[in-house]
Structure 1
């Protein structure tokens, strides 16, 4: 899963670079190149007909929430940091340090590149050290990176902090999906029911933690950081440490 999520991060890096390259383009040109063409490419296979699709639907699967909840909380904590960094990072550089447009524009690019590196190596690291140890380490590396952001005396130091946080925390979300899938598979096997469909259904429900973390990260950071975004980033800096006790659920 970490390597698979690296492809997602590649999309974020590509979008950031595309935005930088097209910042002087007209709105119409950006709309055609950045929206209409990709949509056409995505829709093309379905226009030709991709064959029958078997919907998963709600098959009445019992979700083992008691076991999945700690892993879901870890997902929430990660996405709180991720959304705070990508949503409020540029504003932080602009309002706290008065950074120019050039630095603000690339504020999240090092974070995304570091996330890409962390996810690309996440499978091997998890195999070598264990997923639980990797998540436990992510808690302290992520908190350290956000600490650099909060106390940074210079915008480039803040960018370095975001980079460290991205590198340390990037594998948490894909490892959480892996852990949830393993829990779901154990649940279905114990009931002697169709494994694949039930795992898919449970993972679909588990994905709600993603959105909860995203909402909390965007709203909480902005609300607490109304006077200064330093305070806003101090909240995820502390909360991300709770990944350490939750790490045992990833075994």
Structure 2
């Protein structure tokens, strides 16, 4: 492929990430409306969301099976199509069972797109010899910010108009994603994958998503319960965090090339440790908001660099065809750490902080310390662009 082809593929992959983030945040920010429309209690809503997360994990495993046979680009397009149809069904559902079915299908599509989007970004890194995963994840964050802003701006539109968001993943199916490099049949097996080393990187991904979900899910509640912040300002726990994360991720490609993945993760861990200390000890809600903003700066690059490191480990000492098959399988399975961390962040922070969320946010504060030790597992991420160049 020419450099122009690779640039087009990069734009397409970034667009897929952005659409995924926009659709996901568009749905989650409308959960109160779904809850009112279908008269769902807190327990029922929690059960539906748990179902969606579990099915996203299943969708990721389906992607692992299909990508070697069909190519990750084909499975990504299929996943985006599932997302488009399921969003329309979820929003326009005439009955509660149809709504649940739509959300279940969305969970599967979410997992398919999460897995294959990362497969595409990793393959592009290996093919092009440049760091691209941080900026791709940055596109997801920026898409999420746009989704949140659109939700705020269109709160009074007719409910059926919300279904128009399904047009975005449908349009994204037409993008020129990275085609498989047919370099011959794979010559090694799954047993060659160094899973022990990959699990070490996966633990860092669990830490990130525990911290990330704690901030996104419990941050607004923290401002409301602990500080009694004005109701229309509690979203400031999340929005500055997302903006800071997006900015750092968009700059993350260059930062990684300049600092190296290991050093960047350790610097980010130090910032996150200070940020969470500020959050836990904050005397007022504006100080807590500063802490959440710093937190976004600190942990933003951990997730994309985790995928880079895991893929580099999987692709070592292999011919191109075998490397692509191995990497696709590892990325799909590695994606499960994402959902494990999200569940931990949502459940542990709330459970430990049942008496006070100051104590609850001590959970991510303690866990983020592990990133200093786990950072050494990110060394393979530094080898991808250097080796390709």
Distance change (3 Å), C-alpha of 1:247 and 1:37: same
TM-score, normalization by structure 1: 0.88
Q: Equivalent residue for 2:357?
A: 229
Whether 1:3 aligns to 2:135 is yes
Q: Equivalent residue for 1:61?
A: 190
Give the deviation of 1:195 after TM superposition.
1.9
SS of residue matched to 2:229? coil
Q: Equivalent residue for 1:90?
A: 220
SS of residue matched to 2:333? helix
Q: Equivalent residue for 1:195?
A: 323
Question: 8 Å contact 1:93–1:104 — kept in the other structure?
Answer: yes
Counterpart pick for 1:40 among 155, 167, 171:
167
- How much is the aligned-residue C-alpha RMSD, in angstroms? 2.3
**4+ runs of 1 displaced by more than 6 Å?**
none
- What whole-Å deviation, never above 9, does each CA across 1:141-171 have from its counterpart, x for those lacking one? 1111011110111111101100001011100
Counterpart pick for 1:206 among 318, 329, 334:
334
RCO higher in structure (CA 8 A, sep ≥6): 1
- State the alpha-carbon separation in 2 of the partners of residues 168 and 200 from structure 1: 28
- State the alpha-carbon separation in 1 of the partners of residues 151 and 236 from structure 2: 10
- What whole-Å deviation, never above 9, does each CA across 1:31-84 have from its counterpart, x for those lacking one? 3343x11113323576x9x9xx99xxxx96234211101100000000000000
Question: 8 Å contact 1:188–1:199 — kept in the other structure?
Answer: no
Whether 1:248 aligns to 2:376 is yes
Counterpart pick for 2:302 among 167, 172, 193:
172
Counterpart pick for 1:15 among 128, 135, 147:
147
Question: 8 Å contact 1:64–1:187 — kept in the other structure?
Answer: no
Give the deviation of 1:20 after TM superposition.
2.3
Q: Equivalent residue for 2:68?
A: none
- State the alpha-carbon separation in 2 of the partners of residues 44 and 163 from structure 1: 33
TM-score, normalization by structure 2: 0.58
Question: 8 Å contact 1:61–1:202 — kept in the other structure?
Answer: no
Give the deviation of 1:106 after TM superposition.
3.3
- State the alpha-carbon separation in 2 of the partners of residues 73 and 33 from structure 1: 41
Question: 8 Å contact 1:188–1:198 — kept in the other structure?
Answer: no
Gaps of 5+ in 2: 1-132, 181-187, 380-389
